[in-house]
A and B are shown apart, each in its own frame.
Chain A
Amino acid sequence: MNNIIKKFDLDSLPTLPTVYQKLLEKLEDPKATVKNITDTIILDISSTTKLLKIVNSSMFSFKSKIDTVSQAITLLGFNEVRNTILSIAVTDFFRSFRKEQGFKNLDLWKHSIAVAVISRIIGKEIGYKNTEQLFISGLVHDIGKLIMIKYYQDTYLGIILDSASQNESLISRELKILGFSHCDIGYEFTKKWNLSEEIAACVKYHHSIDFQSQYAQTIAVVYLANIIAKLMSLGYSGDSFIELPDDRIWEILNLKKGFLKSIYYDIELEINESSSLFKI
């Protein structure tokens, strides 16, 4: 598989957006201060505007209005601000695929937001601490598909159409025709963008959980959220095949009975909110 991916030319994967890259560099510096982190962010006007819109939304529900980036950092902390800037960068990345012929990136985006929101809802329920990490995992879990459509165009559109007409899973069709899947390419993308190991694991294993992984529970959340988003027809992932969940996830997640069917309206509410904040 490595050989084929090498043929794919990993160097051609899109690079990290400048503002996010600079932010990561600054945050690695143990002497990072609110002032120099702020200075890095405000160089990018678009990210600054969006950041302030998001931190003032009901997603965070602060009592008073946050007017400046330094206020946002003080109230939210470096991690949360970094995650928000990353979500903005991923949104911009999806938007840049608007012009790919024959492929509805908006449908994939809606699906991704749904998986992000459902992952966060399940994460909260099971007492997972870093739920924003789950949100981002949901946003990027299918990002490999965007990259494949860009590089393989008609071949990849053919793979999507054939898998739908033959009721075969998209991933099995990808493996048959290309020898690797959107999970493999997405995983390479997460490395290139320096995303955390945990997010990378979710992207790589969201169709076949690695139960040995230290991140098995997180992966299971995104795996389940992906299936629920498909069952509820939230957006379209390009994959009409819906797999029966692996029985082992129920033990890892240990959800309360009645929880899943109770989240229907929460999902709808949070999707509405997130889609207005992260527009492509």
Chain B
Amino acid sequence: MSQLININDAVEGMVLAEPIFNKIGQVMIAKDINITSKQINILKMWGIKEIRIKRLEEDILVDNSSKIQQIKLQILNDLGWSNINDYIDEMIELAALTKIRLR
């Protein structure tokens, strides 16, 4: 899965989903590479506005945080657990991550 992002939102370590070409069609930065802050600055200097990056599973999960909350409530309900402390909340989160990934 990939996503188009504004160059100003790019941070070091993101993985390019497609190569970046110069004006004459030569590959300047190959895809599947973790970009460095230096490369991000060069891209800005070249006037590149957007880049396409690969999205990690973890990032997708962050977007799903409201969905996770919903699933956690469902799991707690199924388990019939009450008096939830912070530790148990974390355990339920592990269960919710499993559920999301199994889908």
Query: Min CB distance, B30 to chain A, in Å?
Result: 27
Binds A, one of B36-44, B46-54, B93-101: B93-101
Chain A, interface residues (CB within 8 Å), range: 10 to 19
Other-chain contact of B94, A242, A244, A257, A264 (Cβ < 8 Å): A264
A263 / chain B contacts, CB cutoff of 8 Å: 94
Q: Does A32 contact B (CB under 8 A)?
A: no
B102 / chain A contacts, CB cutoff of 8 Å: 233
Q: Does A126 contact B (CB under 8 A)?
A: no
Other-chain contact of B91, A247, A258, A260 (Cβ < 8 Å): A260
Chain B residues within 8 Å of chain A by Cβ, number: 18
Q: Does A152 contact B (CB under 8 A)?
A: no
Q: Determine the distance from Cα of A245 to Cα of B86 in the docked complex, in whole angstroms.
A: 12
Q: Does B85 contact A (CB under 8 A)?
A: yes
**21 CB-based A-B contacts, threshold 8 Å:** A227-B91, A228-B91, A228-B94, A231-B94, A232-B94, A233-B98, A242-B79, A244-B82, A244-B83, A244-B88, A245-B91, A247-B83, A247-B85, A250-B85, A255-B87, A257-B86, A260-B90, A261-B90, A261-B93, A261-B94, A264-B97
Closest 4 CB pairs of A and B: A260-B90, A231-B95, A261-B90, A261-B93
Q: Tell me the A residues contacting B by CB distance below 8 Å.
A: 227-228, 231-233, 242, 244-245, 247, 250, 255, 257-261, 263-264
* Given A231-B91, A231-B94, A231-B98: 18 more A-B contacts, CB < 8 Å: A227-B91, A231-B75, A231-B95, A232-B95, A233-B95, A233-B102, A244-B79, A244-B81, A245-B87, A245-B91, A247-B83, A250-B87, A258-B90, A259-B90, A260-B87, A260-B90, A261-B90, A264-B97
